Amino acid sequence: MPPNARYESDNVDASPLGQPLDFMFSGKTAPNRFLKGAMTERICSWDPKDYDARGVPSKNMINIYKRWGEGQLGTILTGNIMVSPVPLYFHMKIPAKGDCILRWNLTS
């Protein structure tokens, strides 16, 4: 099948996507059923030697989530958020260049 080919399908009503979605476990309601999937944005800081300089959200990172939030998406799944600039256990991956790192022990 050519890369730009489309699968044939029946015409269906897409209006349910615009309806609110209730999350019973939290009592929250999304305004619609559109979802931004999780991904690794890789637009945070990186330093190969200074662990404290890794994963600091850039203005672009802050802006992109702000814009997604303003875009009337029903649900936004955050991307790949690390909790340490170095692996805490042998089975954890090393943060990639540009990954966001959420530190739980910040002093400032």
Percent of the chain with pLDDT over 90: 25
Q: What pLDDT, in 10s, does the model give residues 16-25?
A: 999 999 999 9
What is the CB neighbour count within 10 angstroms for residue 47? 13
Mean pLDDT within 29-55: 86
Indicate the SS3 state at residue 70. Answer: helix
Mean pLDDT within 3-30: 91
Give the CB-side neighbour count of residue 106, counting CA atoms within 13 A: 10
pLDDT at residue number 39:
80
Average pLDDT of every residue of the chain? 82
Distance separating alpha carbons of residues 78 and 68, to the nearest angstrom: 11
Q: How are beta strands 100-101 and 81-82 bridged, if at all? A: parallel
Indicate the SS3 state at residue 10. Answer: coil
Distance separating alpha carbons of residues 14 and 63, to the nearest angstrom: 30
